[in-house]
Each structure stands twice: as structure tokens, then as C-alpha cells.
Chains A and B, each alone.
Chain A
Amino acid sequence: MEMQQRKENSATVVSVKGRIDAVSAPEFEKALEDLISRGEKLLVIDFGELDYISSAGLRTILATTKKLKGMEGKLFLASLKEVVKEVFDISGFSSIIPIHGSVEVALAEL
């Protein structure tokens, strides 16, 4: 898993490449926690180059979304590949986490 971050006005875009599995999910979670503790509350997670996610990754997304909700922040997902989208659909997460077709659309919706 590789991560990159960039600021877009008041939002932070986190691009994740590769795999979020039980091994890499803690690193992903730590990166999001660090952003939140620095005061970043509007997060767009760009999954355009994410090939794989397991329940460990879902757990991170859920925990981060709950945390942000308590502080009027938002977490949007963008550009999910088919297999990653499928995991969100099957788990029912698609109905509770906003998912957008592209980072640009997500930023406009924040």
C-alpha cells in the first residue's frame, strides 16, 4: 500500500494505491488519525488505484467516518474500482459512506 496526500482548499485528498488488508490497514488508519488530529476534517479518499480492500479496511473507513461525524467533518470516497466497489456494496457500506465517481465530484460535493 502507498499513500499520498494533497490539500485542495479546505479539504485533504488521500490517494491510496495497492491493497488495504489486515496487514496494511493499521498504517492507513494511522494516517487518517494523524490528519484528523492536525485539524483536517474534510477528507476525500481517492481509491482510483486501490486494487483490493478487506474488512480490516472497512473497519478503518467506518471508525474514521464515525469520528468525523462527531466533529462536523466529512469523509467521501472516490473512484472505486469494480472489485473494491463490490466489497462496499455487499457489506452495505455503500449506503452509509458517500461514494463518488471522481475526486473532482467528491470535492464539489463536500
Chain B
Amino acid sequence: MKPTSLLTLPAKLENLERFMDLVSAFASEMGFSGKRVQEVQLAVEEALVNVINYAYPEGTPDDVEVRCSADEEGRGIIEIRDRGIPFDGTSLSDPELDAPISERKVGGMGVYLIRKMANEVRYRREGDANILTLAFAGNRGK
């Protein structure tokens, strides 16, 4: 039986820990190393923080859903779904990693870390929902 789990909670920072616990338990069940579990958590945190900060204009808080499953190749698939304003992080360009310190910004770093930690990142808009799908093999592999 492949592990599947799902958690839906209001898109608020105070719920981050519960999502992290879910993802951590799932990645461990997948047999991932301790290091890989942390990398999965990092990617999911960055995706959730984007939803928490930007998906819902102030005064219209709504839910975010995290769904974990495994695909036929044994990869962990984590879907992050919100009903906020359309946002496709996969369309952003990479941050300038060699800029001098005075010009360095952290904006865009979250999406970049997601890209580096996950083996595959897909985005789709389905009805009024943003769906970000992250696939994780046992190693980052890049």
C-alpha cells in the first residue's frame, strides 16, 4: 500500500508546522534519507509561504491543501492547491546568484529553492485553483 495523505487548513503561517509534520511523515514513509526529508520540507515550505503571503488578498483568507501520494516510479508527489489569484511560479526566471552582496535580494529565492529541491515542478490552473505539483525522488539529482 503506497502512502497517501491529505491536509486542508486555512492558508496561515500558524498552520505551517502541521503541514511540515505531514510532509515529513510522508517523506519518511517513502524511505527517504533524513537529508532528503528536510529538502522536501524546504520545497513545500517555500510553496506554502508563497500561498500564505500572496494568494489571497487581505480580508479573504481561504484554505490551502497539501496532498501527498506516490507515482508508479516510486517518486513522492506533493500537490499544493489554493483558490487564490493565479500564480505560476514556474514561469519566473532564476535569481541572479552571483550578484554582489549590495544587490542581492531574497525575492524569487523561494521558487528557486523549490526548483532545485524537487526533481520536477509543474503548475496548472484548474477552474479557480492553482495547483503546484512537486515530484521527489530519493535524491535531488542536480
Chain A positions within 8 Å of B, measured between CB atoms, are: 21-23, 51-52, 54-56, 58-59, 62, 65-66, 69, 82-83, 86-87, 90-92, 95-96
Contact = CB atoms under 8 A, between A and B. Distances in A.
Overall SS of chain A's interface: helix
Interface of B: 13-14, 16-17, 20, 35, 38-39, 41-42, 45-46, 49, 52, 95, 97-98, 100-102, 104, 106, 109-110, 112-113, 116
A83 B35 contact: yes
A59 B35 CA distance: 22
Given A55-B109, A66-B102, A90-B116, A23 B39 contact: no
Contact of B106 (A51, A52, A58, A90): A58
Given A58-B106, A91-B112, A52 B42 contact: yes
A52 B41 contact: yes
Nearest to B111: A55
28 contacts: A22-B13, A22-B49, A22-B52, A23-B13, A51-B38, A52-B38, A52-B41, A54-B45, A54-B110, A55-B106, A55-B113, A58-B106, A58-B109, A59-B109, A62-B101, A62-B104, A62-B106, A66-B101, A66-B102, A69-B102, A82-B35, A83-B38, A87-B42, A91-B109, A91-B112, A91-B113, A92-B98, A92-B104
Contacts of B116: 90
Contacts, number: 64
A11 B98 CA distance: 29
Given A51-B38, A91-B112, A96 B104 contact: yes
Given A54-B113, A66-B102, A91-B109, A21 B35 contact: no
A55 B110 contact: yes
Nearest to B105: A62
Nearest to B53: A22
B16 A23 contact: yes
A54 B100 CA distance: 21
Contacts of A95: 98
